Amino acid sequence: MQQERLRPATTAGRQSADWLRAAPSLVEDVLGGLLASPKRLLPTYFYDERGSQLFDEICELPEYYITRTETAILEHRAAAIAACIGPDALLVELGSGASTKTRLLLDELPDLAAYVPVDISRSHLMAAAHRIADAYPGLEVLPACADFTKPFTLPKSRRLPSRIVVFFPGSTIGNFDPPAAIDLMKVMRAMVTPRLGAQGAGGLVIGFDLQKDPAILERAYDDTAGVTAEFNLNVLRRLNRELGANFALEAFRHQALWVPQAGRIEMRLVSTRRQKVTIAGELISFEVDEPIITEHCHKYTPASFAAQAAAAGWAPRRTWADARDYFHVQYLELEHPKTG
Ligand code: AVI
């Protein structure tokens, strides 16, 4: 983990999905995934420069209700959420990206001990941290460049915090399969256990998407303008460029499929013909209609999310929903605050 003090940065900010860039070894992961059955690619690989732009466009699409809905909840409920966070807290945002939604909370938290945006992309992290520091002159901003799926050291604030609260919006938790999501929520639990002078038991403010009419879900991931299809196919373009692969993009089609038994949307790239592709010297064969699974987007019921949270030691305390009950923002506390 590298800790950063603020210094000038120029790159424009983005939405909060930079954590997905944390790829240890592209060749090994890609070959391992494509030689497996079914074939898989990590969603990590979506987020090259173009993929990041396309994700920003997705967030604005009429069919992609997630960003808009969560933002509306935060706009309306910021004061109540801030009351749960309480005075003098250290607020840690995971995968902070442009820290756009965070401002809604910061507006209601004038006495925060410090704000710690955490992101894997240093340029985006520093640019966003600067903008926040400029907009909130009294706030100590302590950006941390880290892969938040692994434990890392939290920076120390000048003022002693009363407690540590993690903010994890965007339904990014849904991109983790249940065991990995539980592990991540355990990492969050460890993050908020009393330390750095913080005496009080910590908390978590998290956004998660709910199960709903499959047609609405499938449209959110297969929009009429074809932006999500382009976002999905862009991963093959990236492999062609970075690994010298020879994917013919026109020989794959985008698919977003609701899988009810798993409670998730599966994004896939489906081979439209029998073909062979060379990647880093390896030949990969595709049958007609054979898919590569590129992303899982889990959708929860209130009970399924509570069960996942409980498995990681978290108990829900307050929940805020939109009028259609499409999305929840939830405040949780540790079930056993003393042991963390
Ligand atoms: C980043 N993540 C929360 C998005 C989602 O909805 O699962 C990624 C995405 N994939 C396709 N559209 C958006």
Our measurement of the distance from residue 315's CA atom to the centroid of its chain's CA atoms, rounded to an integer in Å, reads 21
Task: Inform me whether the pLDDT recorded for 86 exceeds 50.
Answer: yes
Q: Which percentage of the chain shows pLDDT scores above 90? A: 76
CB of 337 within 6 A of ligand 1: the answer is no
Residue minimizing CA distance to atom 4 of ligand 1: 172
Tokens of 101: 């939604």
3-state secondary structure of 12: coil
Task: Inform me whether the pLDDT recorded for 245 exceeds 50.
Answer: yes
CB of 204 within 6 A of ligand 1: the answer is no
Our measurement of the distance from residue 24's CA atom to the centroid of its chain's CA atoms, rounded to an integer in Å, reads 18
Rounded average pLDDT over 239-265: 96
Rounded average pLDDT over 162-190: 96
Tokens of 199: 């005496």
Tokens of 104: 């809604």
CA 230 to ligand 1 centroid distance, Å: 13
Q: Which atom of ligand 1 is nearest to the CA of 220?
A: 12
Phi then psi for residue 3, to 5 deg, are -100, 140
Region of residue 170 (phi > 0: left; psi between -120 and 50: alpha; otherwise: beta): left
3-state secondary structure of 33: helix
Which segments within the chain are labelled E, that is strand?
2-3, 39-40, 90-94, 114-119, 144-145, 164-168, 203-209, 252-259, 264-271, 275-279, 282-286, 291-298, 314-321, 327-334
Residue minimizing CA distance to atom 7 of ligand 1: 297
Residue minimizing CA distance to atom 3 of ligand 1: 172
Q: Ligand 1, from 53, 55, 227, 293: best to mutate by most atoms within 8 Å of Cβ?
A: 55
CA 160 to ligand 1 centroid distance, Å: 36
Q: Ligand 1, from 63, 69, 221: best to mutate by most atoms within 8 Å of Cβ?
A: 221
CA 338 to ligand 1 centroid distance, Å: 35
CB of 256 within 6 A of ligand 1: the answer is no
Q: Which atom of ligand 1 is nearest to the CA of 256?
A: 11
Single pTM value for the model: 0.90
pLDDT tens, 192-230? 987 766 677 899 999 999 999 999 999 999 999 999 999
| Residue that has been written with the tokens 């090259």 in this structure | 48
Q: Which atom of ligand 1 is nearest to the CA of 295?
A: 10
| pLDDT value at residue 11 | 31
> Who has greater pLDDT, 152 or 77?
77
**Cα atoms in the 13 Å half-sphere on the side-chain side of 311:** 13
* N-term to C-term CA, the chain: 22
CB of 313 within 6 A of ligand 1: the answer is no
Task: Inform me whether the pLDDT recorded for 14 exceeds 70.
Answer: no
| pLDDT value at residue 174 | 98
Mean pLDDT check: name the lowest of 3-17, 18-32, 53-67: 3-17
CA 281 to ligand 1 centroid distance, Å: 31
CB of 207 within 6 A of ligand 1: the answer is no
Task: Inform me whether the pLDDT recorded for 32 exceeds 50.
Answer: yes
Q: Ligand 1, from 18, 19, 58: best to mutate by most atoms within 8 Å of Cβ?
A: 58
| pLDDT value at residue 196 | 64
CB of 174 within 6 A of ligand 1: the answer is yes
CA distance 102 to 140: 14
